[in-house]
Amino acid sequence: MRGMDLSEVAARLRAARHVACLTGAGVSAESGIPTFRDPQTGLWARFDPQALATPQAFAAEPAWVWGWYEWRRSLVARAAPNPAHRALALLEARVPRFTLITQNVDDLHERAGSRRVLHLHGRLAESHCEQCARRLEPGTPATLPEGGAPLEPPRCPGCGGRYRPGVVWFGEALPQAEWQAAADAAGACDLFLCIGTSSLVQPAASLSEVASRAGALTVQVNPASTGLDARMSAVLRGPAGQILPQLLAAAWP
Ligand code: OAD
């Protein structure tokens, strides 16, 4: 632990008027969803992001990209929220104002009971036509082997365009309304939690800095160190599924 310890953070949490929280892949790790950058198990340690998570990759190999996202959708469909997701849903009910910002494309926050979630990087469940933006109703994902397999994306019944996964790819802009709401919350909160993210991907990673400059207490929850450690008011070291329930129990005994 760096700076304040868990009980001091808990006291500040209980007194906070507006808590903003940024989550990353580490929050879903204990649900069995792989992170991106953990050595060995992370998706980007096993798959090439340039070949799967760029508009160019989808233009060149739509079936490979669609099949890989269908595989990820099936992992999420089989997973369940963990104690970290549940603690954040509870926190929303405890503090006067709460803004949950996630980089995750799964729906585990919602399935744990969080009511309002700002998805900065889109959602796996929301495919849309790449030409006319018509939404595809999410069906049951195909059963595919580990890592996926080529699978032609469905075609839009309206214009014949290809459906694409509703996620933000490298080189694409974040959804404007979500980003604006996230930046506003970071600048207005009195306590900012940064949980389970390597804080390597911009602009999401800049939100802690926005909060810090605006005078918020900044708290990181992560079992590993990140480049943000030295700039946080407190670093709580450990898995989110353990630390967050402990923090809530200490704040509201
Ligand atoms: P990363 O894979 O970069 O980082 C995951 C973080 O979670 C690491 O710092 C781990 O130490 C931490 N972690 C692992 N297990 C944990 C646990 N049980 N509890 C808490 N933390 C844990 O994932 P993100 O930071 O989310 O972009 O990655 C950011 C973006 O990069 C993603 O949204 C994705 C990716 O490319 C898009 O999909 C657009």
For ligand 1, mutation pick of 22, 43, 86, 103 (most atoms within 8 Å of CB): 103
Q: Are 141 and 73 within 8 A, CB to CB? A: yes
Residue nearest to atom 23 of ligand 1 (CA): 25
Paired tokens of 54: 């760029």
List, chain by chain if needed, residues with CB within 6 Å of any ligand 1 atom: 24-26, 29-30, 35-38, 42, 103, 105, 121, 167-168, 196-198, 200-201, 222-224, 226, 239-241
β-strand pairing of 117-119 with 97-102: parallel
Relative to the CA of 170, which ligand 1 atom is closest? 39
Q: What percent of the chain has pLDDT over 70?
A: 99
For ligand 1, mutation pick of 43, 123, 222 (most atoms within 8 Å of CB): 222
The β-bridge partners of 221 are 195, 236
d(CA 25, CA 34): 7
pTM: 0.97
DSSP designation for 215: T
For the stretch 45-59, pLDDT in tens is 999 999 999 999 999
CB atoms within 10 A of CB 164: 21
For the stretch 175-205, pLDDT in tens is 999 999 999 999 999 999 999 999 999 999 9
Backbone φ, ψ for residue 193 (5° rounding): -105, 135
Confidence of residue 226 (pLDDT cuts 50, 70, 90): very high
Residue 121 is among the residues annotated as catalytic for this protein = yes
For the stretch 201-223, pLDDT in tens is 999 999 999 999 999 999 999 99
Give the active site residue among 85, 109, 119, 121.
121
pLDDT at 78: 95
Beta-carbon contacts of residue 65 (< 8 Å; ≥ 6 apart): 52, 57, 58, 165
pLDDT at 240: 98
